Amino acid sequence: MTKRTGPTNPLLQELIGELKKRSSEQSVNLWKSIAIDLEKPTRQRRSVNLSRINRYTKENDIVVVPGKVLGSGNLSHKLTISAYQFSQQAKEKIESTGSKIIDLLELSKEKPNGKRIKTIG
C-alpha cells in the first residue's frame, strides 16, 4: 500500500497551510475543516451544482464550497461564493446574476471569525 502524500499542487498546499494557520490564530474551526476537506484526493473532494446552492441559500448569503462549483442549475438571487475551483459555466452563471466570486484566502481575511458563512457540499 502506498503512503498518501496529499495534494502535490504547490498553490493548493499553500492555501491549506494558510487556512490552518488562520484557524489556529483565530480559534475558528471553519477554516480548519475546509483545509482538511481540501487535503483529500481530487476524487473525494466535494462538487456542488448551482441548483443545490440556490436551494439552500437566501439573498446575500456567503457560501463556501470546499471543492468545485459546477454549472448545473441556476441562481435566482445574489450571493457571495467562495470555492477552490469553478467550472467555466458556473462562473458565467454566477456573474450573470450579479453574484460575487471570491477567493478562499480573501474570504478568510475578510471574515476571520467565520461567522455568517454557510458551507455547502
Q: Where are the domains of the chain?
A: 10-119
> What is the second-level CATH architecture of the domain 10-119?
Ribosomal Protein L15; Chain: K; domain 2 (3.100)
Q: In terms of pLDDT, which residue wins out, 72 or 43?
A: 72
The confidence score (pLDDT) of residue 8 equals 86
Cell triple for residue 23?
484557524
Q: Which residue has the cell 467565520?
A: 114
- Residue 61 has a pLDDT of 96
Measured at the alpha carbon of residue 6, what is the angle toward residues 5 and 11, in degrees to the nearest 5?
125
Range 41-69 average pLDDT: 95
Give the cell for residue 9: 499542487
Residue 81's alpha-carbon distances to 9, 10, 24, in angstroms, are 22, 23, 23
- The predicted pLDDT at position 80 comes to 96
Report phi then psi at 5, rounded to 5: -105, -15
Set of cell numbers at residue 119: 458551507
What pTM value is reported for the model?
0.90
